[in-house]
Amino acid sequence: MKISKSEHMKFSQQFSIIEKHADDENMLTEVLEEMPLEDLEHLRVYLSGTMSLTPYSHIKSIFMYSFVGMSVIYIIFLYQTNTWLSFTAIILLLVVEFRLFQVAYSPPVNTHVILAHRRRKYDRIVQITETILKKRYLKELQNAVIDF
């Protein structure tokens, strides 16, 4: 779907205004209430994307390296008599353990912290937007039923 440059500029201006007010829930609600329905839908779709969070990626890495480490330990005990394979497995185990400790004890990168903070802001915006959209759709549905 292509978006014209003028609509893209309009949306980016609206988004920057909304992002400024994301910390204050009352101001955010007021700004979102003033937006037309189509812009609210566009905003909700834009912000509802997925983004990996730092704790998930750390836990995923820890589980992956733990599994590989346990597999290497199994290979070491299975082939104890083969010197070359045992030596290679021990080197691989040391590399996996080093990487595991590096992942487990490294602090989150500053960019991940910033992204997680922005994600909380965006989630708040999406929640309020969805609430406003539900209210507006309910009003339209009630008006359609009364008119019918």
Mean model confidence pLDDT for the chain: 78
**Which pLDDT score, from 0 to 100, does residue 11 have?**
81
Mind giving me the DSSP string for the chain?
----HHHHHHHHHHHHHHHHTSS-HHHHHHHHHHS-HHHHHHHHHHHT-----HHHHHHHHHHHHHHHHHHHHHHHHHTSS-HHHHHHHHHHHHHHHHHHHHHHHSPPPHHHHHHHHHHHHHHHHHHHHHHHHHHHHHHHHHHHHHH-
Query: How many domains, in total, are found in the chain?
Result: 1
Residue type, 26: N
Mean pLDDT, residues 84-88: 85
Mean pLDDT, residues 101-108: 69
Give residue-wise pLDDT tens across range 127-143.
888 888 899 888 888 88
Range of the domain at 13: 5-147
Phi and psi at residue 30, in whole multiples of 5°? -65, -45
**Which pLDDT score, from 0 to 100, does residue 140 have?**
86
On whether the CB atoms of residues 123 and 20 are closer than 8 A, the answer is: no
Give residue-wise pLDDT tens across range 54-83.
566 667 777 787 888 888 888 888 888 888
Q: How far apart are CA 45 and CA 64, in angstroms?
A: 33
